[in-house]
Structure 1
Amino acid sequence: MDGHRVPRADRPLDLHRLQQFLAVAENAGFTSAAAQLHLTQQALSTAIRQLERQLGVTLFDRTGRRLRPTAAGEVLRDGARALLAAAATLAEQTYEAGTESPRPFVIGHTPAITAEEVYLLLASVRARLPTVSVTARQMFPDALVHALYDGQIDLALRRGVAMPAHLASAIIAYDPVRLAVARTHRLADRDIVRIDDLRTESVMVWAPPGHSFYTDFLLSTCRRAGFEPRFVVNRIQGTPPVTAVADNDCVAFVTAPAGPAVGGLVRVVELADPPLAPTQALWLPHTVSPVRDLLTVQQPTTDAAE
């Protein structure tokens, strides 16, 4: 392809052709992609050639047995997912507006963000859009991005700060971290605990370091206090974070309010100079939503004790 050729601005990308390109990229070849799209291989190959001519770049390395995206193809592949998902969302919103049959606004959130915290974040939505229905759905972190692309959720909430490629994001709240312990734990009767009091404790987490921003955040918090924490991965996933220490001698960093929890089996204790855990919202770019706009305006620190 002519590397000096600039794509024509008056010929925007065809979404149907983008779907064809994405099928080829994800199947690493024309045979499976053509079968998936119910096209002949020749028709699909011609469509990809036409897309390459329009863009002025080669999208696939065709020298091996399997097609591999070029650097340009990787950029288009990653951007195509977000663009196609945004187009599907726009079509759905247009239908809902024309038929007066709106569906709920669906929020996916990781277990590190409690349902109560999601409710508190919705204060402005409840006040200004009282007729809008919202559904909160707990999901594991690895599933959030796929759920956004697939249209299962409209907004994702997680503990994180990194900006993912091809998604829009914003930090919308900071929550003070506290300590959860079983009622029989040696720290259960304390009014306040210092982080360096935990040097000899086993800290319950939901994923090992390197697999969870929240775990990495807690690791850095302990290291700043001058010690290397001993982590234990929770064997029961999907329940409220405070339950992680109900039947063991571990401690857990949580954002639940101070006081008794889990029917008195657990006590949440304040931390001295508590770290603030960020709540990050993720959504599809090129989409509009009044609910999301209210949620993603910078909000004050959320404190579940209020």
Structure 2
Amino acid sequence: MELRHLRYFVTLAECLSFTRAAERVHVTQSTLSHQIRQLEEEVGQPLFDRIGKRVVLTEAGETFLGYASKALREVDDGLSHLMRAGDELSGEVRIGATGTFNISFVPECLAMFLQRNPTVKVTVEELAADAIGQRLIDATLDVGIAYQPADPTHLWFEPLYTEEMVLVVAPTHPLAQRRRVRMVELHRQHLVLLPKAFATRTMLDECFRASGAEPVVAAEMNTIAPMIGIVARTQLATIVSTHAVTPREDVRILPLESPTPVRTPGMLWKRDVKQPPAVRSFAACIRKLALGRSLAGRRSPETGAAAQEPRGRRPS
């Protein structure tokens, strides 16, 4: 498989027309068709369905598109760095992130990026996912760090890694000594959760329905840190991303199962916008940190200083 195969594939996936795609990559339609067939033979399954003059992605093609696009971005970022030949980046990078990522992920990215690019100005705003999407469309943000948007018409979503949600309780909570908790066991438990406007809350409500649990939502808060703070002081429990809470003596972190709530964070971009070098460089830092998290695997939730028994299954 060669780089041109990926470029032709991604271009055809964006145009869904051999004529327009061939014009964009400056080859004949027959050459483009031949290169796509070569790629399909190598991967062992069709990536496009040809219906008359129409072209649509197969399920395999949809899956492969995210990986191919990510690979091309990595190559383009690398070439951009080499072509600058040591020139310092300048300009501004405007980032929108949901609260979960501002706890540790975004600060780690910023530290890595600013150490290498001290002349770039970076602004970070903590926003709800819907607001991030709208700000990207309005071009008042360059990149978002959130979850997949409900309407991807104007936004491109690049998955980064998979994360589990965990239950957080005070050490005196009745569930505090458990090694793991089934979702159905949260029936009638008093919780503090994000408001219904958040995509994470929607996903959790679906998990409750699937398990038959009907918890009592005693409080709603729109930021993670105060939610953890009230849990540490009361008998309320909460559910947050495994990366949103660090081990501390006044809370216990418990894995959830049957089902395990899972989210896939990623980067959000406005479609068909050419990003300046500083933004592409920051995106490369995000990918590098996300890859490190993915390779490290899902860390074991901890209760205070003592680690809990590791999970037997990791999400794919």
Deviation at 1:198, TM superposition (A): 0.9
Closer, same or farther: CA 183–112 of 1 in aligned 2, 3 Å: same
Task: Work out the CA distance in 2 between the residues paired with 1:165 and 1:186.
Answer: 46
The range that moved more, 186-195 or 227-236, is: 227-236
- Aligned residues of 2:128 and 2:198 also touching (Cα < 8 A): no
Pair 1:180-2:171 in alignment: no
Counterpart of 1:265 (choices 229, 250, 254) is 250
Closer, same or farther: CA 156–162 of 1 in aligned 2, 3 Å: same
Pair 1:144-2:132 in alignment: yes
- Aligned residues of 2:195 and 2:222 also touching (Cα < 8 A): no
Q: What pairs up with 1:128-139 in 2 under 5 angstroms?
A: 130-131=116-117, 136-139=124-127
Closer, same or farther: CA 164–222 of 1 in aligned 2, 3 Å: same
Deviation at 1:267, TM superposition (A): 1.9
TM-score by length of 2: 0.52
Aligned position for 2:41: none
Counterpart of 1:284 (choices 253, 270, 276) is 270
Aligned position for 1:212: 198
Task: Work out the CA distance in 1 between the residues paired with 2:224 and 2:240.
Answer: 14
Aligned position for 1:12: none
Task: Work out the CA distance in 2 between the residues paired with 1:163 and 1:236.
Answer: 22
Pair 1:167-2:158 in alignment: no
Partner AA of 2:191 in structure 1: V
TM-score by length of 1: 0.54
Partner AA of 1:185 in structure 2: H
Closer, same or farther: CA 201–114 of 1 in aligned 2, 3 Å: farther
Deviations 1:141-160 (A, max 9, x none): 34313432455432112234
Q: What pairs up with 1:76-87 in 2 under 5 angstroms?
A: none
Task: Work out the CA distance in 2 between the residues paired with 1:204 and 1:172.
Answer: 27
Task: Work out the CA distance in 2 between the residues paired with 1:238 and 1:255.
Answer: 10
3-state secondary structure, aligned to 1:292? helix
Report the RMSD for the aligned CA atoms in angstroms: 3.8
Aligned position for 1:229: 215
Counterpart of 1:248 (choices 224, 227, 234) is 234
Larger radius of gyration: 1
- Aligned residues of 2:96 and 2:126 also touching (Cα < 8 A): yes
Aligned position for 1:41: none
Structure 1: 5+ residue stretches without partners: 1-96
Task: Work out the CA distance in 2 between the residues paired with 1:116 and 1:101.
Answer: 25
**Percent of aligned pairs sharing the same letter:** 21
Deviations 1:61-85 (A, max 9, x none): xxxxxxxxxxxxxxxxxxxxxxxxx
- Aligned residues of 2:158 and 2:268 also touching (Cα < 8 A): yes
Closer, same or farther: CA 238–189 of 1 in aligned 2, 3 Å: closer
3-state secondary structure, aligned to 1:179? strand
Task: Work out the CA distance in 2 between the residues paired with 1:230 and 1:165.
Answer: 36
Task: Work out the CA distance in 1 between the residues paired with 2:89 and 2:214.
Answer: 54
Task: Work out the CA distance in 2 between the residues paired with 1:170 and 1:244.
Answer: 34
Deviations 1:157-208 (A, max 9, x none): 2234534331222222211111111222111222222222211212321212
Structure 2: 5+ residue stretches without partners: 1-83, 302-316
Task: Work out the CA distance in 1 between the residues paired with 2:298 and 2:93.
Answer: 24
Q: What pairs up with 1:2-21 in 2 under 5 angstroms?
A: none
Q: How many residues align structurally?
A: 204
- Aligned residues of 1:179 and 1:251 also touching (Cα < 8 A): yes
Partner AA of 1:292 in structure 2: A
